[in-house]
Every structure is written in C-alpha cells, then in structure tokens.
Structure 1
Amino acid sequence: MKAFSLLEGITDLKEVGVTELAIKTKTNKTTVYRLLSTFEKLGYLRKTENQKYFLTLKLFELGTKVLENISIVEIAKPILKKMSDITNETIHLAALDNDEVVYLDKFDSTHTLRMYSRIGRRVPTYCTALGKVFLAWGPESLIKRVAKDLRPYTKNTITDLSQLKEQLSKIRKEGYAIDNEEYEYGVKCIAAPIRNVNGEVVAAISISGPSVRLTAEKIQELKPIILDYSNKISSKIVF
C-alpha cells in the first residue's frame, strides 16, 4: 500500500525529493528512499541531478496495454460468438502477460464433454497452441526465457529447444498453431494470431476440445475457420 501511495504522491508533482515525499505521504524517510530506489531500478522513476525523482512513461505503457486488452475483448466478443456457434467447441481469446498465456474471454461448448477453463487462467506458452502463437511471432528473448524451463506436462510436450524452434518456424509459415495433447491429456487445440494495424501479434484465439472430437480430420476442417475469424478480428483493430 505504501508503494502505491508514493506513486500517487509523485503523480501530483513534476518531481519530488525523498524528504518532501516522506512528509507528503507521512512515511518514514528510509522507507521512502528504499521504495523510490526500487522503482528507479524497475524503470518507473528517474532521478534528476539534484536528487529528485519523476515518473517515466512506463506506467502509461502498462495502462495502455490494459486498455488494449479491454478493447480487444470488446471487438472480438461478437466475432468469437459466431465462431462458437459454428464449431460448438470451447473458444478462447488470450494475451501474453509475463511470459504466460492469459485467457481474456471464452465461449463454452454446449457438449457435456468439453475443455475446462476460466477467464484469467494462466497457461504455459511452449506446450499450448495459443502460447506457441506468441512464441512464433515474438522476440528471440522471449523464447530464450521460456526455454529455461521446458518441463513435460504429457508425453507429447516438446522439451527440446531445437524441436520447438522447428515447430515455431512451421507455425509462422502456416499461420496457425496446434496443441496435440501437449499440455493436457485428452485435449487438443488450434490457435491463430490477432494482429494490430502494424502487423504485430497482440492477442490470439483458439478452438479447443476433447481429442475424441478434435481428430486430425476435424483439425483440418477447423483451420480455415480459425484463420478466417482471426483475420476478421484483426481487421477491426485500429491501434
């Protein structure tokens, strides 16, 4: 709570020193100095030559990212509903956050046997179709971080970096990714990217279901559907 109080205190001023902020927030000077130093290391604050602190644009960037995700959900929802009606399988909209996939929205299948998930759930990147979309079009630094822990979830999980990179190259060529029971036994998934006006991947959508229904033949039928609907969503994103 004190950390956020300090940030709010700085927001009201163009720049502020430790003593001034300690008085303003009624916080011990040692605590203020420690927290300000931490924020500076994280890039949220910078220090002037006269030892005063001011906010950088990093908080603005975080806020903008949140607004983008909210906008994507609003844009995608009616389109995902149509895709859900057509496929009657579980539909997800997801974003990348802290090197993990986060479900932003979903539509459940009406089948009794269906994939379990919830909005806000986090899943790994390297063994999910949604995650592999972000890896395929993400920076090399993301792949390097993820590669530090390629633990197996099933016997189909790719745990070799060279094999993963080979699959990511294929995903970039074909435009979609597949999870063949790599994260959960009995669950398959196909995913495609959502791009902004600059062509950057800002989200991804997927169709998931039990492997008994999502056979190899069914996956082939779903490919043009998910590519079509991912393009429809991308065409409506104007940021």
Structure 2
Amino acid sequence: MSVGPRPDGVKGWCVADMVGKALRVLSLLGEYPDGVGLSELARRAGYPVSTTHRLLSSLQEQGFARSDPGSKRYALGLRLFELGQRVSHARGFAGVALPVLRTLTEQTGEPTLMAVLDGHEQLYVHSVQGPRQIQIRGEPGQRGPLHCTSMGKCLVAFAPERAALVESLELTALSPRTITSRADFAREIASVRARGYAVADEEHEPGIRAVGVPVLAPDGTAIAAVSTAAPAYRVTMAELEAFVPALQAAARELAASLPR
C-alpha cells in the first residue's frame, strides 16, 4: 500500500483507509468459523472483489487469515489466537479467573459466565459449564448487549462513563421483556448500583434468566462482571438471587487477583 497526498495535501490517508478496510474484513472473517468464499466476503464488506483479495493476501502474509486451497475459503489465522492468548494472560483471565469460576459453578450447579466492557457491548471472556444437560452458554470471544443482560447492566452501572452509556446505548427490543424506555433503563441502572447486583428475567432471550455482579476495582469501577444463568423453567428469579452472596464472594476474589 502506498502513501500519497490527498488533494488537500494531507498525507497518509490511503494507509488509514486501507487499515480500516483490512480490519473490517478481519472482523467479518470472525463470523465464519468454517470459512467464507471471496465473493461472499467482498459482498458483506461492500468492497470490490479485487480489493478484498488484496486485503486478504496482506492478512495472510501476517498470519491473521488463512485460506483452504481445496475449498478456496478464507478463515481467521492462528496469529489472532496467539494475540488473544497474550491478552488473556496479561489480564489474568485464564490462570486466575477460571478456578474461581469453576468453584462458583460447583456451588450453584449452573453455568458461570464472565464478561468485560468493550465499547457499547460486552465481550465474553470465560464460560464454565455446569453439570446439567441443558446449559446457557457465553462463548469466549463473542459479544453481547449491555442493556438486557445481567452482566451488561453491571458493566454499565459501574462504568466510569455510566451516564454517557445510559444516554447513548441502543435499547433494542430482543424479547418482549427487554427494557426499551430510556427513563426505565436509567432507573434500572440506578437500582443495580444501589443493590450491587443485576438480574435479567427473560430480557435478552425468552426462557433465560440470569443474575450478575460486578468485579470492582478499588475505585469502585467494574473491571469485569460475572453471572449465573439458567433456563427459566428450571430456576426461579428468587432462586437465582439466592446465589448473589456466592457471586459477590467470587467477585471479591477476582478483584483481588486480576491484574489492572
């Protein structure tokens, strides 16, 4: 990629533009764990096939993408896994968090999930499955909404930018019970801050309930959130809320262990 002046004399615009396009292609590749064809990827990205091919070639050279010569499909490369492992190690998620989450699941008999705030979404970093056949999953690396999940509400309620998030988050209705009123959402976040935990009663998906707590830094801001989730037919909200002391104990342990 060459760097050239724009008509107005600003340099470097071509590089910035191509980096943005490459990142978009990389993000789209993440939506196709089994790989995607060049034409489909170009259509999704909104770029010409030739441009998409050039971007993929550059990503492949650096190990961020790979292609299958037989199927001619592209997928994410192992370089991303390597970087992800480094981030996980640096944040202490793997070595510190997993034992705590496993102990919590042993206490509740239900899955334990962990997420961090990333912009206007939550990013799942861990999910420990329980002993039951039917499980609620939050696959590491996937993203979820903030306004209708217990962990999301905790991350908003204890975020430094809480007021801005309350005012700017899209309150998309994902189930009949999703909070979509700005005023109601503000009251909900205030309630979460006051009581120290959040619930989601079939707000994200019908049939799923969850309770979550923040993992707080010394300044009172959330560095993560943990939750217990279960099918609504199996667990009442009262039963889930009975797990709050165990969740808060786990959160305190994580807060003391996770690097910041």
Residue 145 of structure 1 corresponds to 168
2:100 and 2:219 map into 1 onto residues whose CA distance is 21
The alpha-carbon deviation at position 66 of structure 1 amounts to 4.2
Q: Is the 8 A contact 1:99 1:142 kept in 2?
A: yes
The alpha-carbon deviation at position 151 of structure 1 amounts to 1.6
Residue 109 of structure 1 aligns to a residue whose secondary structure is coil
Map of 1:19-168 to 2, 5 A cutoff? 27-30=2-5, 33-35=12-14, 66=87, 70-138=91-159, 139=161, 140-146=163-169, 149-168=170-189
Q: Could you state the TM-score of these two structures normalised by the residue count of structure 1?
A: 0.71
Residue 233 of structure 1 corresponds to 254
Amino acid at match of 2:219: N
Deviation per CA, 1:172-220: give whole Å up to 9, x if none. 1111000100001111001111122433211111101111222033123
1:162 and 1:229 map into 2 onto residues whose CA distance is 32
Deviation per CA, 1:10-47: give whole Å up to 9, x if none. xxxxxxxxxxxxxxxxx2424862146779xxxxxxxx
Compared with structure 1, are the counterparts of its residues 142 and 203 closer, same or farther at alpha carbon in structure 2 (3 Å cutoff)? Answer: same
Compared with structure 1, are the counterparts of its residues 82 and 127 closer, same or farther at alpha carbon in structure 2 (3 Å cutoff)? Answer: same
The alpha-carbon deviation at position 123 of structure 1 amounts to 0.9
Supply the RMSD in Å over aligned alpha carbons.
Answer: 2.5
Q: Is the 8 A contact 2:88 2:94 kept in 1?
A: no
Q: Is the 8 A contact 2:90 2:259 kept in 1?
A: no
- Unmatched 5+ residue regions in structure 1? 3-26, 40-62
Give the alignment partner of residue 180 of structure 1, picking from 171, 196, 201: 201
Q: Is the 8 A contact 1:106 1:118 kept in 2?
A: yes
Map of 1:190-205 to 2, 5 A cutoff? 190-205=211-226
1:151 and 1:226 map into 2 onto residues whose CA distance is 28
Residue 228 of structure 1 aligns to a residue whose secondary structure is helix
Residue 228 of structure 2 aligns to a residue whose secondary structure is strand
Figure out how many residues of one structure are paired with residues of the other and give that number: 188
Q: Is the 8 A contact 1:193 1:205 kept in 2?
A: yes
Identity across aligned pairs (percent)?
22
- Unmatched 5+ residue regions in structure 2? 19-83
2:109 and 2:218 map into 1 onto residues whose CA distance is 30
1:130 and 1:89 map into 2 onto residues whose CA distance is 16
2:225 and 2:183 map into 1 onto residues whose CA distance is 24
Compared with structure 1, are the counterparts of its residues 195 and 74 closer, same or farther at alpha carbon in structure 2 (3 Å cutoff)? Answer: farther
Deviation per CA, 1:27-74: give whole Å up to 9, x if none. 2424862146779xxxxxxxxxxxxxxxxxxxxxxx9x9468732443
